[in-house]
Amino acid sequence: MAAVKAMSFAPLFLLSLLLAAHNVVVSEARKGVGIYVLRRGDLTLQFTNYGATMLSVILPDKDGNLSDVILGYDTFAGYKNDTTYFGALVGRVANRIGKAQFTLNGVRYKLPANDGNNTLHGGLVGFSDVIWDVQSYNTESHVTFTYKSFDGEQGFPGDLWVSVKYMLIGRNKLGVKMESKPLNKPTPVNLALHTYWNLRGHNSGDILSHKIQLFASKITPVNDKLIPTGEIKDIRGTPFDFLQSRPIGSQINELPNGYDINYILDKTSNAHLKRVAVVKESVSGRKLELWSNQPGVQFYTSNMLKNEKGKGGAIYKKYAGLCLETQGFPDSVNHPNFPSQIVNPGETYKHIMLYRFTA
């Protein structure tokens, strides 16, 4: 199994890394799994077509020092065996589906239960665990992965074409464009990018002192198995309220087990893309801003991480990273009052994310 090279911060090492990455592409060509690098100035990102996964994001801090700011593994074996979904593109339906089933047009669909009695992130072998095709790649601009999901895959109806384009925009922005087209049957589609961020560096401890602002005044509350009750709840003045920027850890102890909840994004303007979040880390000075066209964002503080062996010998503990998974609402297929995720043949699902990185 080819190793995904551990990131190092010295420029010379970066060069050897790029060459190594190229070798990996060649040596893994048989199986079709490779590493794809996007680079502009001192911004470097790595992806693999295994799960359309984001492997690393290297950013300068306020002094120009480079660090990899997302959690991940050193080897493909790590990604194949994981239960963390580090950096992966999850689907066909991200998040949970209660009781691993739903009914569409009078037909009951049974799905694999991989999270207690529920389905999580597309089932046992979701889009995060399949090899995608590389449709287009230019290290200076973009990489596009595509996947054709088959009728009945993980229990879902109909053949489905899926694509994700990761693209550099301007000097310091990453655009992510996910698209999907049902080819013959209506089907639910809800894709999400499951990146774990730690702006001080992936191996720098917890994210509790990161400050976050979330442009959302409501959540979809869940039961003890993290399945939505169907309610929509105003969270102003509660520990879930991040309308004003504050440290993630400032009220986290008032919750049973960290943040793992869908926020309903406020409509702050008529722009096509809504503001989702601003995250700041004061030691490095790094800041991440996120916009999206999606109705919700799952805010997850990696509550389930427990001594996970990661890149370069890192051991990721609880709260080592934070996820901002823009998406539709969890378990929408079983909640008629939530925005529908059903896409019909002839329609196209479109999910846009735009990140801006500054320091």
Can residue 81 be called a binding residue for ligand NAG (CB under 6 A)?
Answer: yes
To ligand NAG, the closest distance from the beta carbon of 77 in angstroms equals 5
Amino acid at 126: G
Can residue 315 be called a binding residue for ligand NAG (CB under 6 A)?
Answer: no
Amino acid at 338: F
Can residue 129 be called a binding residue for ligand NAG (CB under 6 A)?
Answer: no
Q: Count residues binding ligand NAG (CB under 6 A).
A: 11
Can residue 63 be called a binding residue for ligand NAG (CB under 6 A)?
Answer: yes
Q: Tell me which of 28, 153, 179, 325 is the catalytic residue.
A: 325
Q: Which of residues 243-302 bind ligand NAG (CB under 6 A)?
A: 284
Region near ligand NAG per CB under 6 A, out of 55-63, 87-95, 121-129, 188-196: 55-63
Q: Is 325 a catalytic residue?
A: yes
Residue 295: its H or E element: none
95 labelled as ligand-binding? yes
To ligand NAG, the closest distance from the beta carbon of 224 in angstroms equals 9
Interior CA angle at 56 toward 47 and 142, to 5°?
40
Q: Tell me which of 28, 121, 153, 194 is the catalytic residue.
A: 194
Region near ligand NAG per CB under 6 A, out of 73-81, 143-151, 185-193, 270-278: 73-81
356 labelled as ligand-binding? no
One-character DSSP codes across 92-157: SB-SEEGGGEEEETTEEEE----BTTBEETTSTT-GGGSBPEEEEEETTTEEEEEEEEPTTGGG--
In Å, what is the CA distance from 130 to each residue of 50, 122, 140, 179? 6, 11, 26, 17
Residue in 61, 129, 206, 331 binding ligand NAG, rule: CB under 6 A: 61
Of 278 and 359, the one with the shorter C-beta distance to ligand NAG is 359
**Exposed (0-12), middle (13-18) or buried (19+): which is 173, by Cβ within 10 Å?**
middle
260 labelled as ligand-binding? yes
Residue in 1, 16, 26, 62 binding ligand NAG, rule: CB under 6 A: 62
Residue 14 and residue 60 in contact, taking contact as beta carbons nearer than 8 Å: no
Q: How far is CA 330 from the centre of its chain?
A: 14
Can residue 140 be called a binding residue for ligand NAG (CB under 6 A)?
Answer: no
To ligand NAG, the closest distance from the beta carbon of 283 in angstroms equals 6
Output phi, psi for 25, to 5 deg: -55, -45
Residue 91 and residue 126 in contact, taking contact as beta carbons nearer than 8 Å: yes
Helix (H, G, I), strand (E, B) or coil at 254: helix
Q: What is the C-alpha separation between 113 and 97, in angstroms, rounded?
A: 9
Region near ligand NAG per CB under 6 A, out of 62-70, 131-139, 228-236, 343-351: 62-70
One-character DSSP codes across 23-44: HHHHHTTTTT--EEEEEETTEE
Of 75 and 217, the one with the shorter C-beta distance to ligand NAG is 75
Residue 10: its H or E element: none
Q: Is 210 a catalytic residue?
A: no
To ligand NAG, the closest distance from the beta carbon of 89 in angstroms equals 20
First to last CA, the chain: 36
Of 65 and 184, the one with the shorter C-beta distance to ligand NAG is 65
Binding-site positions read 95-96, 194-196, 260
Catalytic residue set: 194, 325
Binding-site positions for beta-D-galactose read 95-96, 194-196, 260
Q: Would you tell me which residues interact with ligand NAG (CB under 6 A)? A: 61-63, 65, 77-78, 81, 83, 116-117, 284
